[in-house]
Structure 1
């Protein structure tokens, strides 16, 4: 069974690598080549497809919006999750176990199940701020929901990781007169760096391609995220029949995440395996 599982995993990996390669080569073809020779290499690379994809549907603005929203939401999630996970593992309170279970259960709630109350809540928040201050940015609403939906996994992962860290170090620091905040900030956080990096990367990956919440909460085209810009590009390219440009847009969306994962895959696996140690 172990050999069969490895074969299936490698087959799945090979399929995805070939699929990405096909998309990348297709993004360099003209529209005629896309349908006339779909499995052949481009006769002459059409790099202008990327220029068209970047400018036609404002993918540049969408890329900037996605980078800002995803990074701010991911860092905020980590800032909230790290002390929460630390307290759950070190407080010794009776409520720690149920609270950890509560966060674990939160990971299993699909966003589709709460999308209506989320939409109503964010509409009320937007109306309240507009009536009170005359201004509101829906990207703030999207970022707040991203943080709320990412917290359960981040807390669960970091809770497992903090459990692997030795308590003797904290006891020694306490004997030297260090307070709880200092122990956490100067001792435990550096030791938990692999887990923190893993949680940050996985949060970024999960939020980068998120589309449903963005479509629901953001209507202003100037605030669109990259997946929304890709949908706009699809509608535009349908009329112009520039299918190579559409594939170029797909590459622009997925390439950053592929590059990050390849670059930091060892860190991710290190954090996941260490967090599963206990």
Structure 2
């Protein structure tokens, strides 16, 4: 009986639970999209009904009320530049750790793994202190000005590197050594081998880290609120919180849901488009 439960019933129950969770989340995403096309009265009285007339103007009102233009530009710049920097820093570090025969390589990888377990909330006070110190130092002694978005970018990259190095190290280990030996025979040095041989071969892993970094930086809220609190420095999640504060008094719930759609739907589309590549990159180091 126990063997029957372990070999048949438990996997089936797990699969059913996972599919139920997937269906629930998909239904929730669709429900939010439907609410974004309704009037506030329809949202309150008929939350599960289709809109009587799609109100596409909810998106324009949400965009203007939350000043999403500047916030969207900030989010795009921080996300793209930050993701590129994360890959640029993590890729060579992961390659060296994956190919190194030194005794410190293994413990160093463990340190990166330990970095994943540190909650952001435990280091918020040091982050704020460093942010204020950097702002004062740069403004008073170096450039005469400073933008908190630069500080936010640096912290986002620094906090994302451990996960990226951990993922890429496993992927780099799965790559055969023969490709580097062939490059050495052709006269390529270590740097040239890494740039012209390893990087193209490791594209699935790099794509995975890049996309996951894009999704993480796009949704970053807590750091943005602490480091870049000014209206002109806000990203989209911070602007959405400001929209919620204003919409709850005006009761424009259709506009509120439209703001949520503007924030989350691009990442959903991105994951649907590149989801298979993300899974392949995450599992390549295990399956090979």
Normalising by the smaller structure, the TM-score range is: over 0.9
Match status 1:126 vs 2:129: no
Contact preservation (8 Å) 2:32, 2:261: yes
Distance 1:177 1:76 in 2: 29
Match status 1:207 vs 2:217: yes
Contact preservation (8 Å) 2:78, 2:217: no
Q: 1:41-87, CA deviations, whole angstroms, 9 ceiling, x for partnerless residues? A: 00011111000001111012111111110111111010000000000
Describe the SS at the equivalent of 1:144.
helix
- Superposed displacement of residue 172, structure 1: 1.9
The answer for the alignment partner of 1:100 in structure 2 is: 109
Match status 1:178 vs 2:188: yes
Structure 2 matches for 1:159-198, cutoff 5 A? 159-198=169-208
Distance 1:196 1:127 in 2: 36
Q: 1:217-263, CA deviations, whole angstroms, 9 ceiling, x for partnerless residues? A: 11210111000110111111122111100000001010110010000
Structure 2 matches for 1:225-236, cutoff 5 A? 225-236=235-246
Name the Cα RMSD after superposition.
Answer: 0.9
The answer for the alignment partner of 2:271 in structure 1 is: 261
Match status 1:83 vs 2:98: no
TM-score (norm 1): 0.98
The answer for the alignment partner of 1:115 in structure 2 is: 124
Q: 1:189-229, CA deviations, whole angstroms, 9 ceiling, x for partnerless residues? A: 00000000001111111221111111101121011100011
Q: Which moved more, 1:124-133 or 1:191-200?
A: 124-133
Contact preservation (8 Å) 1:195, 1:275: no
The answer for the alignment partner of 2:160 in structure 1 is: 150
Among candidates 252, 273, 277, match of residue 283 of structure 2: 273
Distance 2:62 2:286 in 1: 42
Match status 1:242 vs 2:252: yes
The answer for the alignment partner of 2:64 in structure 1 is: 55
The answer for the alignment partner of 1:42 in structure 2 is: 51
Contact preservation (8 Å) 2:98, 2:169: yes
How many residue pairs are counted as aligned between the two chains?
278
- Superposed displacement of residue 91, structure 1: 2.1
Distance 1:277 1:92 in 2: 22
The answer for the alignment partner of 2:7 in structure 1 is: none
Distance 2:218 2:13 in 1: 33
Q: Which moved more, 1:184-193 or 1:56-65?
A: 56-65
Describe the SS at the equivalent of 1:276.
helix
Q: Which moved more, 1:215-224 or 1:170-179?
A: 170-179
Describe the SS at the equivalent of 2:176.
coil
The answer for the alignment partner of 2:78 in structure 1 is: 69
Contact preservation (8 Å) 2:167, 2:209: yes
The answer for the alignment partner of 1:221 in structure 2 is: 231
The answer for the alignment partner of 1:20 in structure 2 is: 29
Distance 2:14 2:201 in 1: 34
- Superposed displacement of residue 277, structure 1: 2.8
In structure 2, stretches of 5+ residues that fail to align are 1-9
